[in-house]
Amino acid sequence: MQYFVEREVVASKIWFITGASSGLGRIWAEAALERGDSVVATARDVGALSGLTERFGARVLVRSLDVTDREAVFAVVREAHGRFGRLDVVVGNAGYSYTGAVEELDIDEAKANFDTNVFGTLSLIQAVLPILRAQGGGHILTVSSIGGIASFPTGGAYVASKFAVEAMSEALAVEVAAQRIKVTIVEPGSYSTGFRSATRSAPAMEVYNPIREAIRGSFDPARTGDAAATAPAILSVVDAENPPLRLLLGDWLLDQMTDVYAARITTWKDWAEVSNAAQR
């Protein structure tokens, strides 16, 4: 599939993408390669990535990487930098979903979800920052979700992990701005990428089944977007002189997220007298 985005002529970029074997990571890797950029494509299972090497030759470096292996993250980042001489765009996309009502969650499974989604992202960021700082800049994209903006019942460890990614990325953006390092939190809606089929679920407790069914019933298949349509958006952001801190992906998200924030503000205002009395 060919991806096209209108843009000014820019120098080719070197990308480092985790979780690139399928889904959005794979789509963005192909989009970058097809326009002439180079990509370090990493994934736990690189079998699906062999075709990229055949198609794009020396412009792609495929490496097996489990982001929960911190030493491996640093090693592959060093190798990538040694191969291409710089890293311009770093995409922390590796992650998976572990869901269930809070009471249902297995603590070890929840920790494992955080190990990948949060601490794997942290390891990647810490591995690339010295390189980006030394070269005078770069762009880090952390992949969150609408579940990182607004939680939902039975979202489990997954939504908690995405909230953590958002908070960490927001702090990072301020910390590295003076170093000319840009940060964008990517917040996709629903896409047909196979991500949902890979979701792990905690054993269900009957008491939460009505809530679970209500959540499933509220899902609108019409909101499932074409994952390929995200590629031009990502290319536009990485080419922007002043990219956004946050980027929603999907045409139905803005109104919903506006309502979420409006509800929070209303609650704070309704309880302002109590809140203000707690000052002194």
Catalytic residues: 144, 158, 162
Residue 37: strand, helix, or coil: coil
* Strand residue runs (E) in the chain: 14-17, 38-43, 60-64, 89-92, 98-99, 138-143, 181-188, 200-201, 246-249
What span, in angstroms and rounded, lies between the C-alpha atoms of 118 and 189? 19
Q: By C-alpha distance, which of 118, 232, 249 is closest to 190?
A: 249
User: Are the CB atoms for 61 and 39 separated by under 8 Å?
Assistant: yes
Distances in whole angstroms, Cα of residue 89 to Cα of each of 112, 262, 267: 27, 34, 39
User: Are the CB atoms for 71 and 172 separated by under 8 Å?
Assistant: no
For 166, list phi and psi in degrees, rounded to 5.
-60, -45
Q: By C-alpha distance, which of 63, 56, 22, 67 is closest to 40?
A: 63
* Strand residue runs (E) in 32-107: 38-43, 60-64, 89-92, 98-99
Question: Residue 188 forms beta bridges with which residues?
Answer: 249
What span, in angstroms and rounded, lies between the C-alpha atoms of 223 and 21? 24
